[in-house]
Homo-oligomer: A and B are copies of this chain.
Amino acid sequence: MTDSPSQRPGKRERLVEAAVRAFHEQGVEKTTLADIARAADVPLGNVYYYFRSKDLLVEAAVEAHCDRLTALTNRLDALPDPAARLKALIEGWVGQRETAARFGCPFGTLATELDKRDDGLDLAAAQVMRALLDWVERQFGELGRPDARALAVELVAAYQGMSVLTNILRDPGLMAAQGARLTSWIDALAGS
């Protein structure tokens, strides 16, 4: 609401976007409000008009990840069959392998960092992760697998794990190779 008429996205939106990016690239703890303000082209003092504390900006960043996930799954739901949806999900991950090699999974690294903080935002992050698991589980369920939940955990864990390794070793090729493995794994499961 309340976008001023003849301007680029409102300051609030710019701040959240800058925060998401900075948290991904530098981590929450190393990111200062000055960093975010500069990236969003908003004066430092003015940040506090939109977010009364840094924690509230972190919370907004988590919500942004949640929205992003919802948008993604909505797009994937347009695909005809569940196997295609899962493979498209993997393809999306692999497509981000260069930034993953540099900064890790945008959501995974954030959630991991939140688990070491005092704020209660780790719970919100867990909710988002559960939403992803639920969606993946639904796809495996539509494929007729009774062990859909376990397979969902296996797939998402494989992604998080290859993100960690890709990041630590700075090797996007690792994610490409593991992505290919997961894709043929989906094919094998769907074909059986």
Residues of A within 8 A of B (CB): 25-27, 29-30, 103-104, 108-109, 111-113, 115-117, 122, 125-126, 129-130, 150, 153-154, 156-162, 164-165, 167-170, 174, 177-178, 181
A109: nearest chain-B partner, CB-CB: B112
CB distance from A2 to the nearest CB of B (A): 34
Q: A165's contact among B25, B129, B162, by CB below 8 Å, is which?
A: B129
- The answer to whether A181 and B157 touch across the interface, beta carbons within 8 angstroms, is no
Q: A29's contact among B30, B154, B168, by CB below 8 Å, is which?
A: B30
Docked complex Cα distance between A49 and B112 (Å): 33
Question: Across chains A and B, which 6 residue pairs bring their CB atoms closest together, nearest first?
Answer: A161-B161, A157-B161, A29-B29, A160-B161, A27-B116, A160-B164
- The answer to whether A153 and B167 touch across the interface, beta carbons within 8 angstroms, is no
- The answer to whether B168 and A115 touch across the interface, beta carbons within 8 angstroms, is yes
Docked complex Cα distance between A20 and B74 (Å): 42
Docked complex Cα distance between A115 and B145 (Å): 38
Docked complex Cα distance between A30 and B177 (Å): 35
Q: A116's contact among B26, B129, B158, by CB below 8 Å, is which?
A: B26
- The answer to whether B168 and A122 touch across the interface, beta carbons within 8 angstroms, is yes
Docked complex Cα distance between A57 and B52 (Å): 35
| A115 / chain B contacts, CB cutoff of 8 Å | 103-104, 167-168
CB<8 Å pairs between A and B, sample of 13: A26-B116, A27-B29, A27-B113, A30-B117, A109-B116, A112-B168, A150-B181, A153-B177, A154-B178, A156-B161, A157-B165, A158-B158, A158-B161
CB distance from A54 to the nearest CB of B (A): 13
- The answer to whether A170 and B126 touch across the interface, beta carbons within 8 angstroms, is yes
- The answer to whether A168 and B25 touch across the interface, beta carbons within 8 angstroms, is no
